Amino acid sequence: MPSDQELVRDFLDTQSEAAFRRLYREKTPHLYQMALRLTAFNEFEADELVQKMWITAIRKLESFSWKSTLKTWLTGILINLNRDELKKEASKKKVAESLTARPRVSTASVSGYDLEKALSSIPLGYRKVIILHDIEGYQHKEIAALLHINEGTSKSQLFQARKALRQQLTSQDK
């Protein structure tokens, strides 16, 4: 059985599907078991997580420095991707709850479609900030850097975006 370094070197040297398959078959069983545990045994989510992990790993494999084992490195990628997914889900849930908690908008009237429709109807600047902050989980400082605006502008646009979104949802409710 080839070592991890041999499997990686073979893949990096040849970039062949066969070399990737050997690497994949060697490492995926453990990673899949970990993914199942991380996703509360949701097989679909575990499959998705493992596939995303491999995409990330292959892109970064050449820069892997062997300061840890390959298994540890791949597991770290898997855990980080899962954490990012959980943050996104929590942010989406938080946004939906904050929008439906308003007295003027009934909880029953806001579906995912309504929210997406309302979101697409607000101005682009507002939409970017609310997506980055409330859905993707970025902080105002990060948003300011990404959008080349002041941190205060980010905060102001988020306030205005939420207000515009509530207005859209209220008008949809009627």
pLDDT, tens digit, 9 for 90 and up, residues 80-98: 898 898 888 888 787 777 6
Q: Which residue has the higher pLDDT, 22 or 108?
A: 22
In this structure, how many other beta carbons lie within 10 angstroms of the beta carbon of residue 172? Answer: 17
Q: Pick 4-86's CATH classification: 3.20.20.80, 3.40.50.300, 1.10.1740.10, 1.10.760.10.
A: 1.10.1740.10
Q: Residue 158's CB: how many other CB atoms inside 10 A?
A: 18
Question: Using an 8 Å Cβ cutoff, are 154 and 107 in contact?
Answer: no
Work out the average pLDDT over 29-38. Answer: 91
Q: Which CATH number fits domain 102-173: 3.40.50.300, 3.40.50.2300, 1.10.10.10, 3.30.70.990?
A: 1.10.10.10
Task: Please say whether the beta carbons of 10 and 22 come within 8 A.
Answer: yes
Joined tokens for residue 72:
């540890």
At 84, list the tokens. 């990012």
Q: Is 81 in contact with 53 (CB distance < 8 Å)?
A: yes
Whole-model pTM: value is 0.56
What pLDDT score was predicted for residue 107?
A: 46
Residue 92 carries which side chain, given as an amino acid letter? K
Q: Which two tokens stand for residue 63?
A: 């820069």
CA distance to 49, 64, 76, per residue, from 68 (Å): 21, 9, 10
Q: Which of 67-76, 105-114, 141-150 has the lowest mean pLDDT?
A: 105-114
